[in-house]
Each structure stands twice: as C-alpha cells, then as structure tokens.
Amino acid sequence: MRYSTTIAALLLAGFACHAAETTTDAKAIVRAAVDHWRGLSSYSEMSMLIHRPDWERSMTMQAWTKGDEKSLVRVIEPKKDRGNGTLTDDNDMWTFSPKVNRVIKIPSSMMGQSWMGSDFSNKDVARADDIIDQYDHTLLGSEVVEGVTVYEIQAIPHEQAAVVWGREELRIRDDYVVLEHRFYDQDGELVKALKTLEIEEMSGRTIASRQRMVKEDEPEEWTEIEVLSVEYEIDIRDSVFTLSNLRNPRD
C-alpha cells in the first residue's frame, strides 16, 4: 500500500549487479522500489491490524494514489470508524473524523506521531519520497536468496534534511520488492522495522502483500498491513484528492 502506500512502474531494464556499485545506482534501486509499489496511480483495498499484548484492533481501508504527491486513505470498516480519512498533497496532510465533523491539518510538529493509533507515523504515510530526495544512498552489499538478488542499502539523511531518523537501511529484491526497512535514531539505535511477510502477484506485478511494522524495544507491539486488492495505472480524477472529498466522499 501506499498508505501510504502512500506508487510509475519505472523499472530499470537490464539491471546488472556491477551497475549497482555506485551511490547513484543505490538511489536508483530505492527510486525503482518506490515507483514499483506506487505506480503512476493506484486504487487499493487493505486491512490493518494493530496488535497489543492485551488487545487487537482491525480496520479495512480504501486508498487512492496519484503521482508522487497525492494520496487519500479512507476507513470503511468497522462501522464506528467508517469515514475516518487522511489526505496528503505534496507536503501537506489533513485528517477527517466524522465524529467531530472536522478536517484537521497536521502540523510538522505532529508528523512523527502515530497514524490512526498504529505503529506507522503520519510521516510514514505522508512522504514516501523523502527516502529518495532527502538522503544519500550507499550499496552495502548484495546476496542471492532463493535465486533472487537482494540488495542491502544504507540511506543517510542530508545534513539539513527535515527528517527524524539518523539513518535508514533497506533490503530490496532485484524485482524491487522491499523485504525490510529499518529505522535508526540519531544515536544509531534501531527504533523500528517494517518487514515483508508475504509476497504476491497483484494487478500484473509482484508486490509485498503483507507487511509488519515492529518496535525494537517493544516487539510484542506491532501493526500489520495486508493488501486485499489493488489496481494500477488507472484514471483517477484530481477531485478525489480534495478537502471537500475527504469530508464528503463523492468519488
């Protein structure tokens, strides 16, 4: 999902191992993985399960994405949460709750806070492209796992980048499926990791269909996202990504 999920399948043809041995190509692998997941546009339905030692909460959501900047996620189940939504447009993010009938713009100071009570942050959902634009990338190595080449990439933020992480590390297959995404704080300590649990072919491409975000210091607390269905490269009107549609769904 690009809840992300927030997705052009700008696949890099003829990708040879030796071509990935520069910083430029490490960035290209990350770029291709983001584009492969997101596509030029997409519509998906997914479930989210928030697990805690003494309770669990699940919901079903719809998500629309267009280009690198626009996304809309809306809860459809359970009934008590139906209509809750998140809209992103470039660097701006808004949420809507039918219970209070109010659209709230998320300030930059709250981007690190939990998204819908999950282990994903607002920042995780809003700006998938930050990992490309705000970081320098280095290929740490590669290995063949079950016949598939997996690249290990380290991403260090630019000195003036407006990001919370000290570094990020990714394991990406040569078909651009992200197997793992680790987040480290400014002291180099692992904070949380997004791990792919299932991989499936959907809408003509191989994607991570089930992923789990886990806190390093509280492994018993995690959130899983499962893609139930997805369509890529579809026509989506710009009116979908408006505050009016966030509040009163029409598209």
What is the torsion angle, in degrees rounded to the nearest 10, for the CA atoms of residue 126, residue 225, residue 7 and residue 229?
Answer: -140
* Range ranked top by mean pLDDT from 31-40, 110-119, 213-222: 213-222
Domain ranges of the chain: 17-247
Q: What is the pTM of this model?
A: 0.84
Which two tokens mark 29? Answer: 């692998």
pLDDT at 43: 95
Q: Residue 10 above 50 pLDDT?
A: no
**What's the pLDDT tens digit per position in 70-128?**
999 999 999 999 999 999 998 899 999 999 999 999 998 888 899 999 999 988 887 66
The model's confidence at residue 14, banded by pLDDT at 50, 70 and 90, is very low
Q: Residue 136 above 80 pLDDT?
A: yes
Dist. CA 162–CA 73, nearest whole Å: 24
Cis peptide before 78 (omega within 30 of 0): yes
Q: Which residue has the higher pLDDT, 194 or 10?
A: 194
pLDDT at 131: 87
Q: Please state the separation of Cα 48 from the chain's center in Å.
A: 13
**What's the pLDDT tens digit per position in 192-203?**
999 999 999 999
What is the torsion angle, in degrees rounded to the nearest 10, for the CA atoms of residue 192, residue 183, residue 209 and residue 198?
Answer: -70
Say if residues 161 and 145 touch (Cβ distance below 8 Å). no
CA-to-CA dists, residue 42 to 86, 130, 169, 196, angstroms: 16, 20, 26, 20
Dist. CA 36–CA 11, nearest whole Å: 7
| pLDDT averaged over every residue in the chain | 87
17-247, CATH topology level: outer membrane lipoprotein receptor (LolB), chain A (2.50.20)
